[in-house]
Structure formats: C-alpha cells, structure tokens
Amino acid sequence: MTISEVGLDPYNYDFHEDPYPYYKRLRDEAPLYRNAELGFWALSRHRDVLQGFRNSTTLSNKFGVSLDPASRGPHASKTMSFLAMDDPDHLRLRTLVSKGFTPRRIRELEPRVTEIAVQHLDSMLEQARDGATVDYVDEFAGKLPMDVISELMGVPQADRVQVRAWADAVMHREEGVTDVPDSAIEASLNLIVYYQEMVKERRKQLTDDLTSALLEAEIDGDRLTDDEIIGFMFLMVIAGNETTTKLLANAAFWGHRNPDQLAPVYEDLEQVPSWVEETLRFDTSSQILARTVQGELELYDTVIPDGDVLLLLPGSAHRDERVFENPDDFVIGREIGSKLMSFGSGAHFCLGAHLARMEARVALAELFKRIRGYEVDEATAVRVHSSNVRGFAHLPMSVSHR
C-alpha cells in the first residue's frame, strides 16, 4: 500500500465521525504523512508528537496552531494570544498573564463553579423528569464552561447567553468548508468589541475579577496592553470554553458506551478524576495542533522544508499501542500520568489545565450525586464539525434520578 492511499483530511465529515481507524493507518504505514493538496505534514505516533510539542524552536507557534488558512499567519496572536507566539514574546506574555491567572484564583473559584453547575443541573434534570429526553450539551455541558469563564472574567450574568452564542459561532464549520466562515469572523469581531468595552470599563473602575487582575499585572514596570488582554480573553473563550464542553460530553458519551466502567464511579465519586483522565486520553477534545517549521526538520529520512505546516496529532498519540496497552479500550483508572498530551507539553503546556480538570471533576461529580443512570440517544446525537476539536454539538439523553 502506498502512502498516498493513507488519508488524513481534517475537514472530512467521515473523519469527524471516527478518526481513530485513520490514525492507526497513519501510525502503522505513514508515521510522517504528507498531504500535498491541503499543504501539511502530520505526526501520529506518541513519541513523535511528544517530541514535537517539546521542540518549540524548530516547530514554531507564531503563525497559530490551526490549519484553517484565515486563522494562520502573523496576525494569529490577536485572537490566540501567547499560544500563537514563540519566545521571548511567548514567555513575557505568559508570565504576565500568570500573575492574574493563578492556581489560587482557580482554587477559590471552585465553590462558585459548583453553584453554577448545580444551577444548570437542577434545570436540566427538571426537564428530564418522567423519562423525558434532554440535550446534555445544550442544557449543561455547553453552558457551564462558558459561564465559568465569564464568571472568572467578570462578564455580567445578563450578557452570558449572548457571549456564549458568539463563542459557539466562532468554532462552527459547515461540511466542505476548509476555512473560517464569514459567520465565525463576524462572531469573533463581536466578541472582541464586547471585551474592548469591558476592558475600558475596568480601566475606569477595577473590580475583583481576572480582567482587572490582568490590567494590574506588572513585572519590572512591564504591563499588558489592552490588545494583549483582549487576545488572552479571546483565547480563554475559544480554548477554555470549547475544549471543556467537549470533554464533558465525551465523558458522558464514553461512559454510556462503557457502563461496566462507570458502575463503580456511581458508588465512589473519588473515581471521577480517573474518568476525566481516561476521557482525555481515549477521545481528547483537542485532536490536531499545527506548527510551522523554522529552518529545516529531518524526520524519517525526510527533510521538511522551512515554512511548511506540521500537524501534531495528540488524538492519535493517545491510541498508540506502542505506549498504551489495549489503547482502544475505555478503561477508567488505567495508568496515564505524564503520557497524556491533551494539554500539550513543554513550553506551551496549557495554562488552563487545572481549571479544565477542576470544572470537569465538579460537573460530573455533581451530576452523579443526582442520578443513578442515564441513556444517550445515539441516533439523534450530533457531532461538532471542526478541523481540530472533537466532541458533540448535541447529546440527547434520558436519566434515572436518584
């Protein structure tokens, strides 16, 4: 079989339904894959993806981490903040942002995250009385992460539904569209204008939120500009909201598919973090991240030229049988540890990893305090269509209340 017969098209709806057979063929037959038509290379084996994440000199972030042409380029940092930068710019901005986005702030947010989760759950479970079907994404998984980020940043309650709608529109892709659609560009502009107003208000009157903390962040007289703060807020909405929504829905879906694995979790909620970790491994939200080659990179006796796009595939790496035993089995409690790359690795390791894990743990534990079982209606579930994230736009389910 020739390499050209092994395919990877991140825009293909069939690939979105189930990318894992594609990944396996890549790992086995084309560990360095080339798609000439879409203009990228791809790495699929665990060892190669991990080295790729850790090589932030030859593999540059400065043109962004998405394959979509409109998202790529020197302007990427406007909406992706330090994720689309290399050092020293990346290190400067990340260090300043870390002054406001502290582990302590995340810890102190947990009681409020619990309140928001309970509020949405109460509403969802009320709708699910008497065996009625309810959309878990619409009513819970899609609401909680965006509300948590809005809470963190200080977005007023009254504006949150609108902000959430814009964030969703930024990510949505119709079939066959290989670039950022006009609707997503319009939603992005709306979000940026909204955050500009918010920053302007905080300049006049600081409050106790992350937006104000970012305005106050300072190292040796160096401060964040308004554009840098807005870029980070935008990154939080896209990276923080989208991936956590997908994590919550993927956890519910694979739990439904593997009831034997979930049974002990109902009895012991201390196992919820293990459920979260196995979901991150088995079906990670963040499947594909792009890098740009700087200089030259030689892999598998092939020289990848300067300026070419190289995709790192953590979604594939997590199913690599060279690293994980029976990787296609969903096993809650398996040893994963540092082999996980859902949050990247190296210099660009996700700053929001703690927040995402805390949200998922709280959300799923609170759900399981209230139900003793659930059934997903797979026939009407709808997948998200995106070139880099994986999850559900709609996940209808019925629940058995405790």
For the segment 340-390, what is each residue's pLDDT rounded down to a tens digit?
999 999 999 999 999 999 999 999 999 999 999 999 999 999 998 888 889
Mean pLDDT of 262-272: 97
Condensed to tens digits (0 to 9), the pLDDT of residues 26-42 reads 999 999 999 999 999 99
What CA–CA distance (Å, rounded) separates 224 from 182? 30
Burial class (CB in 10 A: 0-12, 13-18, 19+), 308: middle
Does residue 2 or residue 275 have the better pLDDT?
275
Does residue 50 or residue 14 have the better pLDDT?
50
Pairing mode, strands 371-376 and 396-401: antiparallel
Does residue 174 or residue 334 have the better pLDDT?
334
Structural domain tally of the chain? 1
pLDDT above 90 for 71: no
pLDDT above 70 for 5: no
Question: pLDDT > 90: what percent of the chain?
Answer: 82
pLDDT above 80 for 283: yes
pLDDT band for position 1 (cuts 50, 70, 90): very low
Q: What is the pLDDT of residue 4?
A: 44
Burial class (CB in 10 A: 0-12, 13-18, 19+), 266: middle
Q: What is the pLDDT of residue 176?
A: 62
Sheet with 59-60, strands from edge to edge, namely 32-35, 40-43, 309-312, 289-293, 59-60
Mean pLDDT of the chain: 93
Q: How far lies 390's CA from each of 101, 281, 299, 330, 331, in Å?
A: 26, 13, 28, 17, 20
Burial class (CB in 10 A: 0-12, 13-18, 19+), 24: middle
pTM given for the model: 0.94
Cis geometry, peptide bond prior to residue 88 (ω within 30 degrees of 0): yes
pLDDT above 60 for 2: no
pLDDT above 60 for 334: yes
Condensed to tens digits (0 to 9), the pLDDT of residues 96-141 reads 999 999 999 999 999 999 999 999 999 999 999 988 999 999 999 9
- Residue 264: give its domain's CATH number: 1.10.630.10
The range of the structural domain enclosing residue 315 comes to: 3-401
Mean pLDDT of 162-184: 77
pLDDT above 60 for 11: yes
pLDDT band for position 3 (cuts 50, 70, 90): very low
Residues whose CB is less than 8 angstroms from the CB of residue 108 and which lie 6 or more positions away in sequence, other chains included: none
The mean-pLDDT minimum among 3-17, 79-93, 130-144, 180-194 falls in: 3-17
What CA–CA distance (Å, rounded) separates 53 from 347? 8
Condensed to tens digits (0 to 9), the pLDDT of residues 175-203 reads 666 667 788 889 989 999 999 999 999 99
pLDDT band for position 172 (cuts 50, 70, 90): low
Q: What is the pLDDT of residue 267?
A: 95
